[in-house]
Structure 1
Amino acid sequence: MLSSSHPGPGRRLVAADGSPVVTVVLPREPESVPVARRIVRHTLADWRLPELVDAAELVVCELSANAVEHAGHAVFRVTLQRGPGDRVRVAVTDKSKAVPVLRPLDDEAEGGRGLALVAAVSSRWGTDPLAWGKHVWADLEPEPPGEPHPDSTAPTCATAKAQAVYLFIVVALGLLIAATVVSDAP
């Protein structure tokens, strides 16, 4: 059960376990993605968790963009919940029952990398099916300095942001090499 507290960007609530929650319903339009990112940034600043901002913004952008593209209803919900310690759950709920699938990266594909990025920067992520749609979430935790992300298959990077940047570079180089090979073909 959630109870309401003071107003601000997004609706501020308190979960039954006493943890703070911020939630907002946004229209299913591309302009809502930067709004969701701002809400995440402001909420994490309020919670004094600046080390999670980059990863949380990336997660909410990817999940919100998926809701904008695939959900069949006029709105979607973004929720942030602070858990034990400094763990934060970033979630997007929409009325589509289509479950997102983490696919292998394909150099030829124009999309399909969003969930790989979510997986790279989160300690865990998942989808909870609902009778009328789904709830896609990712848990974020500050990483102890110098320790690699536990689920990463990429070379050791000090932060989740560094891992995401590494992943972007690898994909971009793969696309560049593929384009060069195709253009040099007889």
Structure 2
Amino acid sequence: MPGIDIKDRQRRCVLPFEALPAEVRLLRRAAVTQLSQWGVPTADDVTQLLVTELATNVIKHVGEGSPATLILEWKRERLRVEMHDKGSSLPSVRTVDCDAECGRGLHMVAAMAVDWGTVVTALGKAVWCEIELGSDAVCLRTERAVDALEGYRERGGSVLHGRCEAALEESAVELIADLLHWTSARGLDPDDVLDRAQMHYEAESEAA
């Protein structure tokens, strides 16, 4: 299940998949990994539920094995989750029978999201919803760090390629090492720079 990450001020990740029960678990895992790489892991639980409900709706109402696409967009204080498929019928919220096993998907989506809707697309339809991340989840420093690491990895060697956590961690280590070389080349004390950075980090963590 390849992901396509489009880098801009509004982070966007596109995850095509086949609407199969086994794929739903992989889709949830891919979504969690992406949120972690963006630095917004606080949305993991709600996002997994939304992904499960939306993907399950595709299986039930469009057809098992049909092609679909999950799109995640991080727009600072909100995360947008879109499910695209080739179905032509727009879903609607209906009265739910409390004893029924089906028909609860959109009610759950509406309950968890701050906004949601459906739209006709060139290939079918999309169901979208947005969840609030909260100010603590959208840290400017974290956002800048993700920007730096992704850009640094793209310019790095083959060791830094890939989208796994290990690749990002290796990028972070290499980036810090290069910054220490940069400070030393300009006559600064690398240990002093690290101490000052640690002081900034601890002060901001205590204030949060």
- What's the TM-score bracket when you normalise by the shorter of the two chains? 0.5 to 0.7
C-alpha distance in 2 between matches for 1:100 and 1:74:
17
1:98 aligns with 2:123: no
* TM-score normalised by the chain length of structure 1: 0.66
Q: Any unmatched runs of 5+ in structure 1?
A: 1-7, 146-186
Residue 22 of structure 2 corresponds to 31
> Match for 1:74: what amino acid?
S
C-alpha distance in 1 between matches for 2:120 and 2:84:
10
Report the CA distance between 1:132 and its aligned residue: 2.9
1:81 aligns with 2:81: no
Structure 1 residue ranges, 4+ long, deviating more than 4 angstroms after superposition: none
Superposed, 1:26-175 pairs within 5 Å as 26-72=17-63, 74-83=66-75, 85-143=76-134
Report the CA distance between 1:137 and its aligned residue: 0.7
Secondary structure in 1 matching 2:21: coil
1:14 aligns with 2:2: no
Cα pair 1:9 1:39 within 8 Å, conserved: no
Report the CA distance between 1:107 and its aligned residue: 1.9
Identify which range, 88-97 or 49-58, moves more after superposition: 49-58
C-alpha distance in 2 between matches for 1:77 and 1:139:
17
Which structure has the highest helix share of the two?
Answer: 2
> Match for 1:13: what amino acid?
I
Report the CA distance between 1:143 and its aligned residue: 4.8
Report the CA distance between 1:28 and its aligned residue: 2.0
Q: Aligned residues, how many?
A: 135
1:128-148 alpha-carbon deviations (Å, 9 max, x no partner): 112331011110112579xxx
* TM-score normalised by the chain length of structure 2: 0.60
Secondary structure in 1 matching 2:81: strand
Cα pair 2:32 2:44 within 8 Å, conserved: yes
Q: Any unmatched runs of 5+ in structure 2?
A: 137-208
> Match for 2:59: what amino acid?
V
Backbone CA RMSD of aligned residues: 2.1
C-alpha distance in 2 between matches for 1:136 and 1:58:
15
Secondary structure in 2 matching 1:136: strand
Report the CA distance between 1:9 and its aligned residue: 5.8
Secondary structure in 1 matching 2:88: coil
